[in-house]
A and B are shown apart, each in its own frame.
Chain A
């Protein structure tokens, strides 16, 4: 089966860099994606890693290491609007996307 683990909460200062980790245990792995969800809002797709390495999209980057069963989302030049919950997700062997429990990021001034 699948399970993904993320820290429940992370706090950082505006302008700083923060890393949100995600470890997974799965019987079959196809890649890792990341979603952002503001309070009261819908999850929004941020990035996808199918292969090992770093994917960069503006201030956000995502990294995957299959050998370590580990990935992370890196947010640079933090802004107050980045305060949100961040979810890693993986697809299982069927047609399901399995989400982690989410990491609540609080950006302080």
Chain B
């Protein structure tokens, strides 16, 4: 059974398009995250939700909008895609917002977004 799944795995699109990435976890975790990993493998948090409520909103362009319909799902919608959005986007989850839980996060397989 896949713990954290993301779709699609690869996404190739043109500048200006709008795209969505979906994430689901079947671990029963309360907290979910979106990370962006650039070409230098630097991993940076973008958003975090706890029980469908937004708790982290890093300084990302407002073209990025997360949505959590329930605590098992966290989607990421990106409007007006730009070349600089090309990266690997990872969804992750952790048990809760307790301090110890934050350190042990479970990552999805990633979505490699290429904007041309």
Interface residues of A (CB under 8 A from B): 30-31, 33, 37, 41-45, 48, 50, 85, 87, 89, 91, 94-99, 101-102
Contacts and interface: CB of A to CB of B under 8 A. Distances in A.
B105 A45 contact: yes
B43 A31 contact: no
A91 B43 contact: no
Given A48-B100, A89-B103, A42 B108 contact: yes
Contacts, number: 61
Contacts of B97: 95
Given A96-B45, A96-B48, A99-B43, A91 B109 contact: no
Contact of B56 (A44, A48, A50, A95): A95
Interface in B37-64: 40-45, 48, 50, 55-56, 58
B110 interface: yes
Contacts of A91: 99, 102-103
B109 A97 contact: no
Contact of B103 (A33, A37, A85): A33
Contacts of A50: 100, 103
A44 B3 CA distance: 12
Contacts of B105: 43, 45, 97
A95 B48 contact: yes
B110 A96 contact: no
Given A48-B104, A99-B43, A101-B42, A41 B109 contact: yes
A30 B43 contact: no
Given A50-B100, A87-B43, A97-B45, A45 B106 contact: yes
B34 interface: no
Interface string B77-116: 0000000000000101000010110111111111000000
A99 B44 contact: yes
Contacts of B102: 91, 95, 97
Nearest to B45: A96
